[in-house]
Amino acid sequence: MRLVLASSSPRRRELLSRLGVKPDRIVSPDIDETPHRGELPRDYVVRMAEEKATAITRETDEILLAGDTTVAVGRRILGQAVDQSEQRRFLELLSGRRHHVLSSVCIIDREGTARTRLSDSIVKFKRFHPQEIDAYVASGEGEGKAGGYAIQGQAEALVLKISGSHSGIMGLPLYETRNLLIASGYPLV
């Protein structure tokens, strides 16, 4: 049985390795990741994982795994910061506030059955000084990351509290992923 990872994210590969899993094939899905008008963050992140999974052609002996992670402040979706200006706006919005990090994983098994799970974690940052935002943005660490930050790096030192899945905040909730792999018949060590 082979595993296909529908993601080019090095973080997802690294997180899968914590389960002792190495994808046999890695394919980056080409989908439109624009939220639908009025779409709630939870619905959006589940839809993204499912669309990424179904966008990849799967062989009969393959299990396909896709994931998506987004940051939400209320009903507002903070995707991957496209530039430093957007990253700065995201960090200003997150400063001193609680926000949700929603991470969804979808697995399509050998029979073509799709199973999806959602992890909802809460992160609260300290209140940022403008110089802290400037330094973090200049580090480049949050580029291309949901909400404009990477919890596994320098941003972790700015967190007051986390409730939920640390791996989910990084991009792949391992508890949910492990259970889906087992339910799909994938042999875990």
**Domain definitions of the chain by residue range:** 2-183
Tokens read off for 17: 């390795």
Task: Quote the pLDDT of residue 68.
Answer: 96
C-alpha gyration radius of the chain: 17
Catalytic position from the list 32, 68, 120, 134:
68
Task: Quote the pLDDT of residue 9.
Answer: 87
Q: How confident is the model at residue 18 (pLDDT cuts 50, 70, 90)?
A: very high
CA gap 11, 27 in Å, rounded? 15
pLDDT tens column, 31-50: 999 999 999 999 999 999 99
Once rounded to an integer, what is the mean pLDDT over residues 139-152?
91
Closest CA to 1 of 58, 72, 55, 62: 62
Is 68 designated active site?
yes
- For residue 102, CA distances in Å to 64, 119, 130, 134, 137 come to 20, 6, 27, 26, 22
Q: What is the 3-state secondary structure (H, E, C) of the chain?
A: CEEEECCCCHHHHHHHHHCCCCCCEECCCCCCCCCCCCCCHHHHHHHHHHHHHHCCCCCCCEEEEEEEEEEEECCEEECECCCHHHHHHHHHHHCCCEEEEEEEEEEECCCCCEEEEEEEEEEEECCCCHHHHHHHHHHCCCCCCECCCCCCCHHHHHEEEEECCHHHHHCCCHHHHHHHHHHCCCCCC
In CATH terms, the fold of domain 2-183 is Maf protein (3.90.950)
Cα 59 from chain centroid (whole Å) = 25
pLDDT tens column, 53-82: 999 988 888 999 999 999 999 999 998 888
pLDDT tens column, 91-125: 999 999 999 999 999 999 999 999 999 999 999 99
pLDDT tens column, 128-139: 999 999 999 999
Tokens read off for 178: 């492990």
